[in-house]
Chain A
Amino acid sequence: MASAAHVVTLTIDGRDVSANADDTVLEVARENGIFIPRLCNIDGLTPVGACRLCLIEIKGSPKLVPACVAKVTEGMEVTTKSERLDRYRRVILEMLFAERNHICSVCVSNGHCELQALALDIGMTHVRVPYRYLRVGIDASHDRFIVDHNRCVLCTRCVRVCDEIEGAHTWDLLGRGTNSRVITDLHQPWGESDTCTSCGKCVNVCPTGALSIKGHSVAEMSKRKQFLPYLTLMRTEK
């Protein structure tokens, strides 16, 4: 094959699009104005395929594939919207809402929350699965930031940004299954962390009100995620 094979053409929801061979379906779809929901994925961090909201159908593949890690291939036929996908996304979102305590009316991120926005986008109007009301703690020991585990969706954006961009690796995961939670250092209070540089990147990439800056009340906490693509770009293109 000639080197021209770097550019491929594929169809997304019946539309012909072209792309670089190392792009993911999610990137190409967004480039072409096709919306695919996502939660754990964020531009500038390694995709992990964990939230399963960006699952798509690829013709000829029996399994659904997360668009954030699926590389485009020549002649690929992608479906991003179908009755089945919509239903699955809605159920996944319902289960997320029911897992911990997502109460928008008292949340600092109300109106600026990605989880809330997803519910709107996907058309989730009710939660049919039983609420589990898992009680998890709040850590306000840090001078400037607060982590409220009740609002955490375990997307691990904070873990990844701290490791990949800041290089501190303050955040990590503890426990298994529904008992997992994000921790600072070796599960000590955030305020006592030796590694945290207080850069605030984790707070700004957090999709919900789980990580916030102290002093913000209901609906006052909006996040600034723009720094991430810039940083990534500056680091790759000298």
Chain B
Amino acid sequence: MTPEELNKLAATTRKHQQQFAHQINVCVGTGCQSSGSAAVLEALTGEVKKTGAQSSCLVRGSGCRGMCASGPLLSVDPEGVLYGPVTVEDAPDLVRSLSEGKLTRLVCESDSPFFTRQCRVVLENAGRIDPERIQDYIAMEGYSALARVVTEMSPGEVLEEITRSGLRGRGGAGYPTGLKWSTVAKARSEQKYVICNGDEGDPGAFMDRSVMEDDPHRIIEGMAIAAYAVGAKQGYIYVRAEYPLAIKRLKNALAQAKRDGFLGDGICGSSFSFTVDLRLGAGAFVCGEETALIASVEGRRGMPRPRPPYPAVAGLWGKPTLINNVETFGNIQSIIRKGADWFATIGTERSKGTKVFALTGRVANSGLIEVPMGITLREIVYEIGGGIPEGRRCKGVQTGGPSGGCIPEALLDRPVDYESLAELGSIMGSGGMIVIDETSCMVDVAKYFMEFCMTESCGKCVPCRTGTSQMHDLLHKITEGEASLDDLDLLQELCEVVRNTSLCGLGQSAPNPVLSTLRYFKDEYMAHIVDKQCPAGVCQMRHAVEV
């Protein structure tokens, strides 16, 4: 499809959509589907047909609106009214409301801070397009960035634009994306690869899943632009098999993109060729680590190897390979379309753009949010998240999953960016954010994450394999009220050894939940060890002090 044809298709699709006085967008993401949104979609489609409104009302499945706690959600556009939780029985009332005005009993306040404090870049199309129709994506200017890149820009100009935007990797470590791309672009090789890392494994995190489910073409477009910039012809999307819906949508999107000439030979009438294949992970957390992921794509056991050489130099089958996270690729088309300068206006000095977080735990509005970098944790928890339910006290926020740390309530006014989170002993991570209140025991939280690391350690290197199980056992001993102060010393020593000697990021960051809870909540550890008491009342102490 040439750029002219693309513009024409976008215009006709938009015109077609405008023929309908109303659009009902029902969320069919994993969250809302699990609370029955597929049946709601079916009921609404039937109801619209029954009342003969199908010429004026378009009913379609769409992506995540973020407020998953109130699902199933749907929106009526162009009015922009959000309803939820909706049931099949509400269908007649909802269709009637199109002519009779808002159905107030189901309205979900869309002008609440949950929505107004967000800034949607990666998720801009989520809930506004049907993820299974490429035309919907094109109507939102989809693939226009790719068409422009391959027909008007040189690879060098693309690299320059991405570098200037200040985008950093959204997988967690925050490596500058432009620098990574340039390194791969400079590597000399006939064959290079682009890999999209969709092996999202942190407990409670579902950012990448949503992007893949709600806007799969955005990732394909980002990857194609990257491939053009670095000189790759083949790409892989590595998705964990636990995401069946994301896999289905990606497969569908890949077929459509190929059919319409956005993948394959001579993309958009240029001489650039690029194909993308899907690879499914088999459920190992460590395969999110880039060298383990590469081994898995190659069909080998998913275990990391020492770096250097970095994948940018010797990656998949020994060839230069660019690996970026789903969300990183999700930013690319927006940067090209709206410009690096626009992107750089969002965020802080060193962390540009937005970040998607999966807000979970003890918070009123749990769900998916996209916020500008630099927003404070307090704003996220109390304004967007609506605070802690039942008036309980917030104890802290856990970011970065099993590789991250717990930030105490007193420090919630710190901005969310790569550097300040690292300073606090946590990490940005891929975007899991768990709010913890006074009903949780911090030692128990640390034990939970250590158990996760222990079962997910691949077993290759000794410190991670044996260290995580030793640390888990020590934490368990503490929560049972059987530990001594010597055990605490040993735990701290093991934390240091495992962190500094493990082969890959999994082991190197596994002690973080322990170290950060020890830093901010040492009194809780002491209560367990010295007083044999769990202040939160979570741990069943075997040897409670007899009075």
* Cβ contact of B457, chosen from A95, A153, A156, A177, cutoff 8 A: A177
Is the CB–CB distance between A52 and B467 below 8 Å?
no
Question: Contact at B462–A52, with CB atoms within 8 Å?
Answer: yes
Q: Which of A52, A69, A132, A180 contacts B501 (CB 8 A)?
A: A52
Residue B461 interfacial (CB < 8 Å): yes
User: Across the interface, which residues of B come within 8 angstroms of A129, CB to CB?
Assistant: 470, 490, 494
Tell which of B284, B463, B466 touches A178, judged by Cβ atoms closer than 8 Å.
Answer: B466
Query: A154 touching B503 by the CB < 8 A rule?
Result: no
Q: How far is the CB of B119 from chain A (nearest CB, A)?
A: 34
B504 to A: closest C-beta gap in Å: 10
CB neighbors of B among A109-134 (8 A): 128-130, 132
Number of interface residues of B (CB under 8 A): 29
Chain A interface main SS type: loop
Asked if B87 lies at the interface with its beta carbon under 8 angstroms from chain A, I say no
CA distance A48 to B502 in the complex (A): 13
Q: Which among B456, B457, B458, B462 has the highest number of chain A CB atoms within 10 Å?
A: B462
Give the interface SS of chain B, mostly helix, strand, loop or mixed.
helix
Residue of A nearest to B285 (CB): A176
Residue B470 contacts which of A50, A64, A87, A130 (CB distance < 8 angstroms)? Answer: A130
B457, B463, B497, B500: the one within 8 Å of A176 (CB): B457
Q: Nearest Cβ distance between residue B187 and chain A, in whole angstroms?
A: 17
A92 and B497 contact, Cβ closer than 8 Å, known pairs A177-B459, A178-B459: yes
Is the CB of A55 closer than 8 A to any CB of chain B? yes
Closest-by-CB residue of A relative to B473 is A130
Q: Are B501 and A88 in contact (CB under 8 A)?
A: yes
Q: Say yes or no: A178-B457 contact (C-beta < 8 A), given A91-B497, A173-B301.
A: yes
B455 contacts across to A, CB distance below 8 A: 176-177
With A129-B470, A176-B455, A177-B458 already in contact, the answer to whether A49 and B503 are too (CB < 8 A) is: yes
Contact assessment for B456 and A176 in the assembled complex, using a CB-CB cutoff below 8 Å: yes
Q: Does A12 contact B (CB under 8 A)?
A: no
- Cα distance A51–B455 when bound, in Å? 19
Contact A64 B456 (CB under 8 A): no
Q: Report the bound CA distance from A172 to B301 in whole Å.
A: 10
What residue of chain B has the Cβ atom nearest to residue A155's Cβ? B462
The answer to whether B458 and A51 touch across the interface, beta carbons within 8 angstroms, is no
Minimum CB–CB distance from A174 to chain B (whole Å) comes to 10
Could you mark each residue 16-54 of chain B with 1 if its beta carbon is under 8 Å from any beta carbon of chain A, else 0?
000000000000000000000000000000000000000
Of residues 37 through 73 on chain A, the ones whose CB sits less than 8 Å from some CB of chain B are 48-53, 55, 63-66, 69
**A180 and B470 within 8 A (CB):** no
User: Is residue B259 within 8 Å, beta carbon to beta carbon, of the partner chain?
Assistant: no
B528 within 8 A of A: no
Q: Which residues of A contact B461 (CB under 8 A)?
A: 49-52
Known contacts A55-B501, A130-B470; is A48 also within 8 Å of B462 by CB?
no
* Known contacts A50-B461, A178-B459: A128-B306 contact under CB 8 Å: no
Q: 9 interchain pairs (CB within 8 A)?
A: A91-B494, A92-B501, A95-B466, A95-B467, A98-B470, A154-B462, A173-B459, A177-B459, A178-B457
**8 nearest interchain CB pairs?**
A180-B459, A95-B466, A49-B306, A177-B457, A91-B497, A52-B501, A177-B459, A99-B466
Extra A-B contacts (18), CB below 8 Å, given A49-B306, A177-B456: A49-B503, A50-B461, A51-B462, A52-B462, A52-B463, A64-B501, A66-B306, A88-B497, A88-B501, A91-B493, A95-B462, A153-B462, A173-B459, A175-B459, A176-B284, A176-B459, A177-B458, A178-B457
Residues of A within 8 A of B (CB): 48-53, 55, 63-66, 69, 87-88, 91-92, 95-96, 98-99, 128-130, 132, 153-154, 156, 172-173, 175-180
